[in-house]
């Protein structure tokens, strides 16, 4: 130990090595964001429930920290854990394309969910995934054993292909999967994933831009009744979500739109629509319009000619 320690100090005393080490430490700090590691995870909060926020391919950053801040500001009493599943050594692009490694990491996330469920039985567990984290949320839900469900999965600008079969993830979620998508996300989830690929290795625009398509044949077709999709609309701009990829994690959007959905007892097209309209429409508009005309219409899931194999 003494020899190793002495050797370590020896090479560290070289100016170049010291400079390089400092650069690496600064880069790691920037990649992981600033501030406390898990400021919203306490024993008291864990006893009430858990919201697991899965980062995008960039890893921990101010973008996904804003999701946690928005939930906390909204008064969500559950523990809010920011889970960085990425490999900082290979960078965002390779994190996107490391399919086998990402699948293994999804198993680790599922094991954390199982551990929490066993420690705090009956407490609700929510998964929120932004960009590549959306795929990780879906895959983690798929890995859960029979008898264990998450409460809900919320996808923000998810980097999964529109044809991805959500049947198993839907079955393992009590409320279902809610997908926020935007045609304005044409650069990252349009051009970007067409060339670099989605998290599930399809070279196409992502479901975070186009929405998920409904397969013609499903093992459990009833599960797709729990798929809810919300396209971006201009009223969301007042919350900081302008339809672009990175603004999907805006803290005010999370505070005004995501937190109220977590508080709902159950989800339906009507309750989700009513909740989002009440949070995104200016108060003056709500008072001047009949409630029936102020709701945002939900699109009928698109049909796909063939079943997607995963």
Domain membership of residue 290 as a residue range: 40-296
Please spell the DSSP secondary structure of the chain, one letter per residue.
-HHHHHHHHHHHTSHHHHHHHHHHHHHHHHHH-SS-SSTT--HHHHTT-EEEEEP-TT-S-HHHHHHHHHHHHTT--SEEEEE----TTTHHHHHHH-HHHHHHHHHHHHHHHHHHHHHSTT--EEEEEETHHHHHHHHHHHTPPTT--BSEEEEES--S-TT---HHHHHTBSS-EEEEE-TT-TIIIIIIHHHH--TTS--S--HHHH-PEEES--SSGGGGGGEEEEE--GGGGGGT--SSSGGGG-HHHIIIIIHHHHHSSS--HHHHHHHHHHHHS-HHHHHHS-GGGSSPPPPPPEEESSPPP-
Q: Is residue 188 part of a domain?
A: yes
Q: Is residue 171 part of a domain?
A: yes
Q: What is the pLDDT along the chain (310 residues), one digit of tens a residue?
A: 333 333 333 333 444 433 443 343 334 434 444 445 899 999 999 999 999 999 999 999 999 999 999 999 999 999 999 999 999 999 999 999 999 999 999 999 999 999 999 999 999 999 999 999 999 999 999 999 999 999 999 999 999 999 999 999 999 999 999 999 999 999 999 999 999 999 999 999 999 999 999 877 656 568 999 999 999 999 999 999 999 999 999 999 999 999 999 999 999 999 999 999 877 766 544 443 433 323 334 444 455 544 444 4
Q: Is residue 29 part of a domain?
A: no
Q: Is residue 83 part of a domain?
A: yes
Q: Is residue 7 part of a domain?
A: no
Q: What total of structural domains would you count in the chain?
A: 1
Q: Is residue 146 part of a domain?
A: yes
Q: Is residue 69 part of a domain?
A: yes
CATH of the domain at 276: 3.40.50.1820
Q: Is residue 16 part of a domain?
A: no
């Amino acid at each position: 130990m003494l020899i190793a320690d002495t050797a370590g100090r020896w090479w560290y005393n070289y100016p170049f090595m010291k400079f390089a080490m400092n650069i690496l430490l600064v880069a790691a700090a920037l990649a992981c964001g600033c501030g406390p590691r898990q400021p919203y995870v306490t024993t008291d909060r864990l006893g009430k429930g858990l919201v697991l926020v899965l980062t995008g391919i960039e890893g921990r950053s101010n973008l996904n920290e804003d999701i946690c801040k928005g939930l906390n500001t909204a008064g969500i009493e559950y523990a809010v854990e920011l889970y960085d599943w990425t490999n900082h050594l290979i960078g965002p692009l390779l994190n996107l394309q490391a399919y086998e490694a990402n699948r293994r990491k999804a198993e680790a996330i599922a094991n954390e969910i199982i551990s929490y469920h066993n420690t705090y039985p009956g407490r609700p567990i929510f998964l929120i995934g932004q960009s590549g984290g959306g795929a990780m949320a879906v895959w983690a839900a798929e890995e859960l054993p029979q008898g264990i469900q998450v409460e809900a999965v919320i996808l923000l600008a998810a980097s999964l292909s529109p044809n991805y079969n959500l049947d198993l993830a839907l079955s393992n979620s009590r409320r279902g999967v809610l997908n926020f998508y935007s045609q304005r996300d044409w650069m990252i989830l349009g051009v970007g994933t067409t060339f670099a690929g989605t998290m599930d290795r399809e070279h196409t625009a992502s479901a975070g831009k186009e929405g998920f398509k409904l397969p013609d044949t499903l093992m459990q077709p009833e599960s797709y009744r729990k798929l809810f999709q919300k396209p971006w609309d201009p009223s969301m701009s007042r919350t900081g979500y302008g339809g672009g990829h990175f603004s999907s994690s805006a803290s005010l959007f999370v505070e005004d739109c995501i937190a109220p959905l977590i508080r709902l007892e159950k989800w339906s097209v009507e309750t989700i629509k009513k909740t989002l309209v009440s949070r995104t429409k200016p108060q003056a508009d709500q008072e001047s319009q009949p409630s029936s005309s102020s709701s945002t219409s939900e699109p009928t899931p698109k049909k796909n000619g063939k079943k997607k194999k995963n």
